[in-house]
Amino acid sequence: PIMPQPPTLTHQSPKDYIIDPRENIIIHCEAKGKPHPSFSWTRNGTHFDIDQDPNVNMRPHSGTMVVDISREKVEHYEGVYQCTARNKHGTAVSNNIVVRQSRSPLWSKERIKPIVVQEGVSLVLPCRPPAGLPPPIIFWMDNNFQRLPQSSRVSQSLNGDLYFSNVLREDSRNDYICYARFPHTQTIQQKQPITVKVLNLDAINDTMAAFYNDTDLFSEDPVDERRPTFLTPSGPSSSKMVLRGQVLEMECIAEGLPTPEISWTKISGDLPAKRTAFLHYQKTLRIVNVSESDAGDYRCTARNRHGFVHHTIHVTVKAAPYWISGAPKNLVLAPGENGVLTCRASGTPKPSITWAMNGIPIENSPKDFSRKVEDDTVIFTDVQVGSSAVYQCNVSNDYGYLLSNAFVNVLSEPPRVLTPAHKVYQVIRNHQALIDCTSFGSPIPKITWFKDSRASTLDGDPYILHDNGTLEIHVAQMHNSGKYTCVARNTLGISENHVYLEVKEPTRILKQPEYKIVQRGRSVVFECKVKHDPSLIPTMTWLKDDGELPDDERLIVDSDSLTITDVTENDAGVYTCIMNTTLDHDSASAELTVVEQPDPPTDLELTDQKKRSVQITWTPGDEHNSPIQKFLIQYEDSLHHRGHWHNLTEVPGTKTTAHLKLSPYAQYTFRVMALNAVGYSRPSFPSRVYKTEPAAPDENPTGVQGFGTEHNNLVISWKPLSGLQSNGPGLHYRVMWRQKFLDSEWTSVTVANNSKFVVSGTPTFVPYELKVQAVNDYGAGPEPVIAHGYSGEDLPVAAPENVQAMILNSTLAEVHWDPVPAKLIRGHLKGYKVYYWRERSLHKHNPHHVEKQILTFSGNHTRGMLPGLHAFSLYSFNVRVYNGKGEGPASPTQKFETPEGVPSAPSSLVITNSNLDSLTLEWNPPHDRNGRLTGYTLKYQPVNNSNELGPVEELALPANETSVTLLNLKYSTRYKFYLNAKTVRGAGPAISQEAVTIMDEAVASRQVDIATQGWFIGLMCAIALLILILLIICFIQRNKGGKYPVKEKEDAHTDPEFQPMKEEDCTFGEYSDNEDHKPLKGSRTPSNGTVKRDDSDDSLVDYGEGGDGQFNEDGSFIGQYSGKSASRDTAEGHESSEAPSPINAMNSLNSFV
């Protein structure tokens, strides 16, 4: 159903309506209401019958009036108009609209005489434009429509006149033209030009003919200087009235010589800084949006060096009426309700208030006991249907009026929710959410909100319910999403509406683009990684310098990056990535700076030219966004080194000049290069050629040395001068020498085109003094510095004396000797060499053949250490001195013995005869006894399944034992054994081995006897057959190949450790200690893996001491053809390791069977 509503004006023309006389007159009046209102007009207070005037018509469904002025003058329609809009519920009226046409009258024709003034006096050129509507805008220009220059001396006043504080000769001109622009019609009127001639006093007194001739009239001094006086305003004070809210403009223009300066103060307070401006070179004070506080006294002061003058302006502020709390508001009331219309306004002077109802003064309206008027308020109590009306409030004083319409609409309506049903609101998390519930009803409905299940009303934190029904969530979170129900209730009914809130994740740039400095021609990537709500469609936009990206295929936009290839200088700027969704956006910016090598310097000039120096200046090239760090000056010498450029000097990047030191006898060309962070520029164009005159050399050769290549010569050498150092033609060298300490005369020769000279027949190794001087056709160089050298060396003729050895421990000795006298060394002492070798071990008598070892001690030493010796051994040694030529004779050979040391580990350890509670250990003595063995120490301990060690048992064994049987062991237990040998110096490193005792028969009976399994017996037979075939093949191959010495076989083995089995030679595994300890031919390997002494056909027992058949003459172990063997590392304390020998596999099978 349509709601009844009294009329409400929605648009009307301004109170003071100035129209363009060239266009139709349109006076606006629009209103709304239910039913739609009808319109009528009054003109000058009486009804204006539009139907009777053919030039006037009203737009349909509107009160807007259109006047056709093509057949009637505009003046006929000037006047005061008022529009009325009415329907059956009331009447609204417009303001009084004063319609006037704009006027732009012409200046009256007048002939303006030329103005002739004396230089220095003040001058006012009047404008006095014709009165227009609205007033025109004034400006001064010349014939060429160029604005005349203004300054603190010459300026335009508020009324348009042109003021000169004092005139100058250059103010003379014949085209001072005042223009008036009328803004409404956009027309410009021009005043007749004014001619001003500024003369000095003598010229004024001369004949007026001088005014028209270009003779020189400006030689005299101007008038006297004077203190300021005001041209406007006149007198010591004046007053000004301004309306509140308008613009206050006050001006003070002074004359004086020199030109006065103007300043302003407010006597009764401070100037309002934010609303104050000073115009026209401080001559005008403007205050905008004037308020009552701006009333008071203002003082302007004009000042020059001769004094000052004041003027006081008293400002009063009046006010047309203005609303204090806004215009009266429309009232919608239900029958029986109360209401108030308030028309609260102010002004200066205080305005009067009158009320009207439906356009009729309220005192002339029908009486209504539910209505009571109290000054600026109308009070309604217990209103009834039918008392709807439009009330007019008119507030007026001497400076204006306010007219406002407000209706009282008495309605009885059930509630209606006007917000669309099922509307979806989308907001970003942590932002404000506003959910509307626009409703209508009379009485005004009460709004309540529910969420989802409607368990309780939404009231209090985090919800805020506004008076208009809107529900606010100040900081929305994800859990606030859901269905919301708004319910509108009044006494006549209830209405509800469902809407939905979706809270989305914010759009955030996770990785912002970064500031980049890129070399021209390279590529650059700006990253912009974004996170956004998956339900929102994002749009990525890139901007350059806040504008669109250039349309260039080098710019590649990906989903999360911008790539610019082949960067140019035009690409420099600020790049911004903006990620937009329908709800929010995020952006980030980064700057791109494009750099490259500087452009080459230009404009090279040579100045301040002297014999040995010149000044060079240049103009730097473009540095391309990377500051120049330095300039490099290079030269080419076309006389000595044409085509080659050399670095001469560098200067900081802030300089553009350099002082260059030059050499004589050169033809210089210079060029300059600039360096920035990217690199060097291309070289500049070369300078002109600069030639220097020849001169004697400034320097002599460097690096002069003397040495002998034979025992009776002296070679003098030097570093020759370069062509640039020669300073002139004909370069040669004067070479001089003499024997040191003899004070003999210098011997001198001349050498050209060479850098050495050989003196023959010199004594052996004698010191000489040497000099080399540079000479050219223009003279000799400076006196040369004396260098020192020696003639040739010969071999030393003496050996060191008093040589003796001190034994420090079993592996270290120190050798001492007396130095050889320098005379007998016959050369530069380089050092001493100690030759030493091991004769034999002390517990063997046969000699040990080892190469001599040499230790060199550089410099003048008299002792040296011999490390790494064998313990319990006999050594021989001698000492020799050596020089640059070679070694001298050896000192007499001497001997020393090293004391006993600790032995190495036993060479093998095997476990045999493993029973239920006992087992036997067998071992071989150490390779290196390093003394006489005093016994063995055996330690053993049980090991459980988790490799934890049990208590240690220790057993001392005599030195002649090589086996031991351990009784009373636990059955089925794994043991770890450690065995080491001892001498008087202590125990050596241990060899270790593990073994398991046999398990109890009772336990064994519970196990499956694998040896009785058929598959196992078949497997063993197959393996035995394969081994038999293999042995036959090896035997055939060996007979085919013939016999060869064991020595050759052994030399073929590069690895001194075990060799893997090869079919060709059928060796199952061999052991070799070193080149002096070869395996014994014809030895056998028994099945238990140990070597028995009786089994050796050709053992060294025959050549050594006692029964130690496993050791050779120096106490080292020979080795065994066995699966288990101590490796050579055993001496360093390593445990024995299993060698991958087929014998082991056989032994394992045997024990298994």
DSSP states of 673-711 as a string? EEE-SS-BPPPPPP---EEE---S-S---EEEEEE-SST
Residue 48 tokens read as: 């204006």
Reply yes or no: is the peptide bond before residue 6 cis, omega within 30 of 0.
no
- Which helix or strand (DSSP H or E) is residue 228 part of? strand 226-232
Q: Is 643 left (phi over 0), alpha (psi -120 to 50) or beta?
A: left
Q: What is the pLDDT of residue 186?
A: 81
Q: What is the pLDDT of residue 111?
A: 82
Number of domains making up the chain: 11
Round to whole Å and give the CA distance between 548 and 550.
Answer: 6
Round to whole Å and give the CA distance between 271 and 288.
Answer: 12
Following CA atoms 627, 630, 631, 635 in sequence, which dihedral angle do they give, to the nearest 10 degrees? -150
Following CA atoms 192, 198, 204, 207 in sequence, which dihedral angle do they give, to the nearest 10 degrees? -60
Residue 1016 resides in a domain: no
Same domain, 910 and 893: no
Residue 746 resides in a domain: yes
Exposed, middle or buried by CB within 10 Å (0-12, 13-18, 19+), for 941?
middle
**Residue 646: partners with Cβ closer than 8 Å, 6 or more residues away:** 634, 635, 636, 637
Round to whole Å and give the CA distance between 1135 and 305.
Answer: 113
Q: What is the pLDDT of residue 1046?
A: 36
Radius of gyration of the chain (CA): 62
Round to whole Å and give the CA distance between 858 and 832.
Answer: 6
Q: Is 186 left (phi over 0), alpha (psi -120 to 50) or beta?
A: left
Same domain, 1141 and 1038: yes
Q: What is the pLDDT of residue 845?
A: 66
Residue 796 resides in a domain: no
Residue 194 resides in a domain: yes
How distant, in Å, are the alpha carbons of 501, 674, 808, 812, 838 from that of 871?
96, 72, 11, 9, 10
**In this structure, what DSSP letter does residue 112 have?**
P
Final residue of a structural domain among 838, 862, 897: 897
The series of mean pLDDT values per 10 residues for the chain, 1153 residues long, is 88 94 93 95 94 92 93 90 95 96 84 91 92 90 92 94 95 93 85 92 56 40 81 94 96 95 93 94 96 95 95 96 93 91 94 94 89 92 91 95 95 90 93 92 90 79 89 92 92 92 92 91 93 90 92 90 93 93 92 93 93 94 92 93 92 94 93 94 94 92 93 94 89 93 88 93 92 94 93 93 93 94 92 92 72 90 92 92 93 92 91 86 89 91 86 89 88 89 91 81 46 74 91 79 40 38 38 38 36 36 34 35 36 39 37 34
DSSP notation for 268-336? TS---GGGEEEETTTTEEEE-S--GGG-EEEEEEEEETTEEEEEEEEEEEEEEEEESS-SPPPEEE-TT
Same domain, 1062 and 1116: yes
Round to whole Å and give the CA distance between 466 and 477.
Answer: 20
**Which amino acid would we find at residue 1034?**
C
Residue 454 tokens read as: 């409607």
Contact 387, 381 (CB under 8 A): no
Same domain, 1044 and 1131: yes
Final residue of a structural domain among 393, 408, 423: 408
Q: What is the pLDDT of residue 1012?
A: 54
Q: Is 990 left (phi over 0), alpha (psi -120 to 50) or beta?
A: beta
Same domain, 201 and 232: no
Round to whole Å and give the CA distance between 736 and 76.
Answer: 129
DSSP notation for 998-1027? PPPHHHHHTS--GGG-HHHHHHHHHHHHHH
Q: What is the pLDDT of residue 848?
A: 67
Give residue for tokens 């001739």: 213
Residue 1018 resides in a domain: no
Final residue of a structural domain among 319, 344, 360: 319
Contact 967, 917 (CB under 8 A): yes
Residue 507 tokens read as: 């759009």
Residue 500 resides in a domain: yes
Same domain, 496 and 533: no
Residue 1020: closest CA among 1151, 1153, 1144? 1153
Q: In which domain, by residue range, is 161 found?
A: 114-222
Same domain, 1030 and 1129: yes
Round to whole Å and give the CA distance between 921 and 939.
Answer: 12
Same domain, 922 and 891: no
Residue 40 resides in a domain: yes
How distant, in Å, are the alpha carbons of 15, 43, 46, 178, 201 from that of 101?
14, 16, 21, 24, 51
Other C-beta atoms lying within 10 Å of the C-beta of residue 623? 20
Same domain, 1138 and 1122: yes
- Which helix or strand (DSSP H or E) is residue 1036 part of? helix 1014-1041
Same domain, 312 and 334: no
Phi then psi dihedrals of residue 718, to 5 deg: -155, 165
Contact 1069, 1058 (CB under 8 A): yes
Q: What share of the chain is helix, strand, coil (3-state, %, to 5)?
A: 10, 45, 45
Same domain, 378 and 309: no
Other C-beta atoms lying within 10 Å of the C-beta of residue 379? 14
CA angle 149, 154, 159 (to 5 degrees): 100
Q: What is the pLDDT of residue 640?
A: 86
Residue 1040 resides in a domain: yes
* Dihedral sign for Cα atoms in the order 1054, 1055, 1058, 1062: negative
Instruction: Residue 985: give its domain's CATH number.
Output: 2.60.40.10
Round to whole Å and give the CA distance between 949 and 959.
Answer: 28
Other C-beta atoms lying within 10 Å of the C-beta of residue 478? 10
- Which helix or strand (DSSP H or E) is residue 951 part of? none
Round to whole Å and give the CA distance between 548 and 559.
Answer: 17
Same domain, 887 and 918: no
Round to whole Å and give the CA distance between 626 and 808.
Answer: 70
Round to whole Å and give the CA distance between 972 and 970.
Answer: 7
pTM metric for this prediction: 0.48
What SS3 state is found at 480?
A: helix
Residue 246 tokens read as: 């308008």
